[in-house]
Structure 1
Amino acid sequence: MKSSASTTHGGERARRGTTSTVTGSAVVGHEGQTRGAVVTLLLEEGPITASDIGTRLGLSAAGVRRHLEALIDNGEARITSSAVVTQRGRGRPAKYFQLTAIGRSRLGHTYDDLAGAAMRQLRKIGGDSAIEAFARQRVEAIVADVEPAVGSRAVDVEEAADRIADAFTAAGFAATTRQVGNGVQICQHHCPVSHVASEFPELCDAERQAFSDLLGTHVQRLATIANGDCACTTHVPLTGRNRPEISKKSNSMPHPSSSITSGAQPSTGDRTSPRKELA
């Protein structure tokens, strides 16, 4: 049962509850803490209206709107379908908000300990081969609907890389692609299994192998979140492939979490696909 006690600071209040993910004194002292309190309500009581959020946290309508718009822009929250919520009374229907799968994946949880224990038991029973088989099956499920590169041209490989990024984004990895030097990078900005992967790198190895199989070329993992990097970055070389439209351009910057060891200079040939990362 949630407590109704609250404490004020700067005109704002943060609700405290036994199941709340907001810790400490529940004092909302800055934007980050307030955003966390909003996320907590979306998690525990969503779908919920902006008015209800404001009432529970002691926030102004403008303050609630600012946080909700930021969460929606980041893909962490959304306005729920009107069919999900039964409207009561007359007048303009209220908008209800809830967390998205991406928003939920960014919350801390204790499933990592359980997953790690299960993986250790699997290794004890079946050895390394059992871990490798599980890792392959996991990534195969993620890319099950991804069409492999249909040819050997640079554009064929790049389009397949985009499809891979789309599939991993749908699975909660927030993936993008970008052209760098004589290649393209697949960047995963979030990893739902990073804590487990730090102990079981087979999960990362299986992803790299799946990328290589789908793209029809060797790929190189330059960075991983499991190793403490800011993103999982995989470099896909396009050297020698037909790509005349960008062959003379050379002034874009590589992803900050990666480096190109071939000595090639990055390219500005970024396509304008919405799935492309902004340079």
Structure 2
Amino acid sequence: MPVAQVPGAHEGQTRAAVVQLLLEEGPITATEIGVRLGLSAAGVRRHLDALIDTGEAQAAPAPRREGRGRGRPARRFQLTAVGRARLGHSYDDLASAAMRHLREVGGEAAVEDFARRRVQSLLGGVAPVESGSGAEIEDTAEDIAAAFTDAGFAASTRRVGTGVQICQHHCPVSHVAEQFPELCEAELEAFTRMLGTHVQRLATIANGDSFCTTHVPVPPSDTRKT
């Protein structure tokens, strides 16, 4: 009956919205999910429980608390590798086979050249840092995140101490990158070149982390004021 299908369709749309939040904002609390999506606490819990039962979500490790405070910190949730995989990795087998053939025909140099050309095409519209100022570095980091988001990486930036971090919450080629780390290495090289400073890769989805994180140092006296 059509009437009976509507609640199910709405439930599926809400579940997809929860998954998207876990992808882009995770680790995130149940309260934050409820506020963002206008859901009751019971509604959020129902969706989280379902995602946890299927192995698509999990409670994130509690952050180390500094000093003493009242109460227990709210639990935060994030997608698992299973959850990210179900978002889609189109043509993984074909892409992996093509990369293996490229290596057989052209060797490691051919794979590395392909990886560099690929990331160059992703960042083609991003202007590299020229002045080396903290504000310009932050702006360029945001431009890089936007370019990667357009390519399906759900990327964002966040201020951490005297630097910024580029976070890629999804990787549409993570399964291929597990076999060909040259893809990740080329990204790091491109970030260093575009930002004009040494950057450090802290985590990668291909290595089993929740998201890819790249730390970009910014001169402490020259960070952009917010």
Task: Give the TM-score normalised by the residue count of structure 2.
Answer: 0.65
Q: What's the Cα RMSD here? A: 2.6
Instruction: Name the counterpart of 1:196.
Output: 176
Specify the structure having the higher radius of gyration (Cα): 1
Instruction: Name the counterpart of 2:194.
Output: 214
Segments of 4+ moved more than 4 angstroms? none
- Flag the structure with more relative contact order, 1 or 2, with Cα contacts below 8 A and sequence separation at least 6: 2
Name the CA distance, whole Å, in 2 between partners of 1:244 and 1:69.
37
Instruction: Name the counterpart of 1:170.
Output: 150
Equivalenced residues, count: 163
Mind listing any 5+ residue stretches in structure 2 that lack a counterpart?
A: 22-83
Alignment of 1:50-129 (within 5 A): 55=2, 59-69=4-14, 71=16, 74=20, 106-107=87-88, 109=90, 111-129=91-109
CA offset digits 1:86-110 (Å, max 9, x no partner)? xxxxxxxxxxxxxxxxx9982255x
SS state at 2:118 partner: helix
Task: Give the TM-score normalised by the residue count of structure 1.
Answer: 0.53
Q: Which structure has the highest helix share of the two?
A: 2
CA contact (8 A) 2:169 2:212 kept: yes
Specify the code of the residue in structure 1 equivalent to 2:118: R
Name the CA distance, whole Å, in 2 between partners of 1:176 and 1:203.
19
Name the CA distance, whole Å, in 1 between partners of 2:207 and 2:13.
32
The Cα of 1:226 is off from its aligned counterpart by 0.5
Instruction: Name the counterpart of 2:222.
Output: 242
Mind listing any 5+ residue stretches in structure 1 that lack a counterpart?
A: 1-53, 76-102, 246-270, 272-279
The Cα of 1:229 is off from its aligned counterpart by 0.5
CA contact (8 A) 1:153 1:241 kept: no
CA offset digits 1:167-216 (Å, max 9, x no partner)? 00000000010011111000001111111111111100110111111111
Name the CA distance, whole Å, in 2 between partners of 1:134 and 1:146.
19
The Cα of 1:118 is off from its aligned counterpart by 1.2
